Structure 1
Amino acid sequence: MPPPQPQPQPQNPEPAEPAEPVTPDAPRATPYPLLTQSWLDLAFLHWPVDPAAVAPLLPPGTRPDTVDGVSYVGLVAFRMHRIGWLGLPGLPYLGSFPETNVRLYSVDSSGRRGVVFRSLDATRLLPVLVARAGFRLPYVWSRMDVRRAGDTIRYASTRRWPGPRGARSRITVRIGEPIDEPTELEHFLTARWGLHAGYFGRELYLPNTHPRWPLHRAELVDCEEDLLVAAGLATPAAAPVSVLYSPGVPVRFGLPGAPTPREHSRAVGRERN
């Protein structure tokens, strides 16, 4: 009988680092942008959620991000404007369209904060197909409309494909005064410098940068939606705890797989040695 062969010992994963600070300005640069675009006329609606309830909805390698033990789900409606690739000029038609997304708040084992999109409704079919195939993002094709009259802005969407067909949202907000100094929670909900997604069983992190958000208080005039339920979340039991508006910002997305804080510190250490 041959002698027993030594069995490979399981590798102990490195402990998760604490979440990086919430900062109103991007903590990482994007010198070589993969994508450029502008987000315009944004309405941010947020509800508190139990972190344990949303943890199964996040991709592997991430956990719910929280403030005082509470996580949040966001319903964000806006106008996407002129998506461009690799520094090329943004597209006026295919790259400009209304969008409504349902998002959760995440942090990975390296401490990078981000968002996880549960759905992204958009009106242009080709960008929907490219985003689904290229980045595995849950974009869906919808009929959408954004209309503004004075200080009131209305967002409407009805889902076409892939479904659930007919899922919809109707949001109307009244824009209030500019916010000189956002609260800790308002920074947490808006100053997110990357997205986390599952990509063929692996974690994908896509960093972004943009100027500091110009935020306004906003009054929710009307909200009828079932996008949260369609995204696997419970129907909100109350009105959103935060309603904000922003005229928008230009955005740059960096290349996937940017160095993590841990990898960056290791590289610096090697250079010093």
Structure 2
Amino acid sequence: MDGALGDDDGVYGPADRSGGAPGGVVSGSCPFTIERPTMTQRWAELTFVHWAFDPAVVSRLVPAHLRVEVLDGAAWVGLVPFRMHVATAGGREFRPVTTFCETNVRTYVVDAEGRPGVWFLSLDASRLGAVVVARARFALPYFWASMSLTRSGDEIDYRCRRRAPRPAAAESRLRVRVGAPLTAAELGPREHSLTARWRMFSSARGRHRRAEVWHQPWPLHRADLLDVDDHLLTAAGLPQPTGAPLVHYSPGVNVRIGPQRPCSGGLRS
């Protein structure tokens, strides 16, 4: 995401330049291509755990130029642990920050131009260098954490203990059992809307930005939540979630990140 701010030439391929239907995601396939990425990544061994919240509660945590998306009458917040692999646009790796564990707390929003995407309430990573770069250059709310991802058969144990910046005390523990793959016929608008997102937003010092994200359709599996003890959502300012969450697992996707672009203000008064 280190490209200079400017026009969109060269970012999109010949496919639809709109970035998806405003206000929602109806397909698991990205509607554009990124021909000249600024960074490539792989998101691997990833679990989506989503809880429904009152939209008014989530809106208080989102900047005024974005609107929280409502699906089935609720705003959805995801706890998403995974293993991150980072490389340059050409695929070159930098060993100190190439591979690490990460856990995101995220919700889903639309900007003033009707473009849907992700707003991160927090991102925890086990590589301090990655945290420093992401905070300084991309204005993303990263935290340095001790993390682990351990797999035994079809069970995965994710652990996170936030270390810095202070005050940063928060922990998360999640254990899931991976089930059978979901077929295309079993994936509807809700599954796509909570997983297949092609844009992320950030804000700092009055500057609002967006970056497009391309990847293949998610190969999603059923998953059972065996144990969860999470405090990252409450550390982000949310109440303790209630009710059974939606849980999906994916072995991963390869990702291309486009340059950061200006994102217009406005929307809420």
TM-score with structure 1 setting the length = 0.84
Q: CA deviation at 1:85?
A: 2.8
Residue matched to 1:144? 147
Residue matched to 1:73? 77
Residue matched to 1:170? 173
Q: CA deviation at 1:21?
A: 4.5
Which amino acid is 1:231 matched to?
A
Q: Which has the higher contact order (CA 8 A, sep 6+)?
A: 2
Q: In 1, Cα distance between the equivalents of 2:69 and 2:181? A: 27
Q: Note the aligned Cα RMSD (angstroms).
A: 1.8
- 5+ residue gaps, structure 2: 1-20, 265-269
Q: After the TM superposition, which segments of 4 or more aligned residues of structure 1 sit over 4 Å from their partners? A: none
Percent identical residues: 46
Residue 203 of structure 1 is aligned with which of 201, 208, 217? 208
Residue matched to 1:87? 90
Match status 1:103 vs 2:118 = no
Match status 1:36 vs 2:47 = no
Which amino acid is 2:239 matched to?
A
- Is the 8 Å Cα contact of residues 179 and 222 (structure 2) preserved in structure 1? yes
Residue matched to 1:54? 58
Residue 215 of structure 1 is aligned with which of 217, 220, 229? 220
How many residue pairs get aligned? The number is 242
- 5+ residue gaps, structure 1: 1-16, 261-273
Q: CA deviation at 1:86?
A: 3.4
After superposition, what is the alpha-carbon deviation per residue over 1:161-215, rounded to whole angstroms, capped at 9, x for unaligned? 0144331000000000100021221111000001011132122111100000000
Q: In 1, Cα distance between the equivalents of 2:199 and 2:22? A: 16
Q: In 1, Cα distance between the equivalents of 2:77 and 2:250? A: 18
Which structure has the larger Rg over C-alpha atoms?
Answer: 1
2:251 aligns to what SS in structure 1?
Answer: strand
Which amino acid is 2:231 matched to?
D
Match status 1:232 vs 2:237 = yes
2:46 aligns to what SS in structure 1?
Answer: strand
- Is the 8 Å Cα contact of residues 164 and 230 (structure 1) preserved in structure 2? no
Residue matched to 1:250? 254
- Is the 8 Å Cα contact of residues 25 and 189 (structure 2) preserved in structure 1? no
Q: CA deviation at 1:246?
A: 0.1
2:97 aligns to what SS in structure 1?
Answer: coil
2:58 aligns to what SS in structure 1?
Answer: helix
Which amino acid is 1:111 matched to?
G
